[in-house]
Amino acid sequence: MTKREIRTGSALAALGAGVLLCGMAPGDMNIAAFLQRAGSIERLGPLAIATPEAQVLKGEVVAAGKRYKARIDADRKAGRKTTSCPPENGTLTPDQWLAHLRSYPAASRKSISVYSAFDGLMRKRYPCPA
């Protein structure tokens, strides 16, 4: 295989990955990909937050949170039992979020979305009274 063929193949693979990533709804990134991308900027320390990659990752979490809140609100409005009972306002630090994601077994991280992980965290932090 020539260098040109290798470069073309690599470019096509990257393009294909880009198309797949762009087709996902925010919050649908799997936690393995999220942790890998977060790991690539963690070495920057506090400066990491200013990177475009950090903004993408923050967008994933914010979108998952909005989807979660919309679902909880809809369940409450319809009189259905909710999966968790969070307060109206709360805080979640990046360290708390990353610790939660890292609590999932490595073998299952590719099959769990950021949205599902957010729901799992809310269930753990804010269980509904029995």
How distant is the alpha carbon of residue 76 from its chain centre?
24
Kindly state the average pLDDT of the residues 32-59: 94
Q: Which residue has the higher pLDDT, 19 or 24?
A: 24
Using the predicted structure, report yes or no on whether residue 98 has a pLDDT greater than 60. Answer: yes
**Both ends of the chain: CA-CA distance in Å?**
64
- The answer to whether 67 and 115 have CB atoms below 8 angstroms apart is yes
Q: Which residue has the higher pLDDT, 76 or 23?
A: 76
Kindly state the average pLDDT of the residues 20-40: 81
Query: Measured between alpha carbons, how far is residue 32 from residues 10, 20, 28, 74, 82 in Å?
Result: 22, 16, 12, 29, 27
Which residue type sits at 34? Answer: F
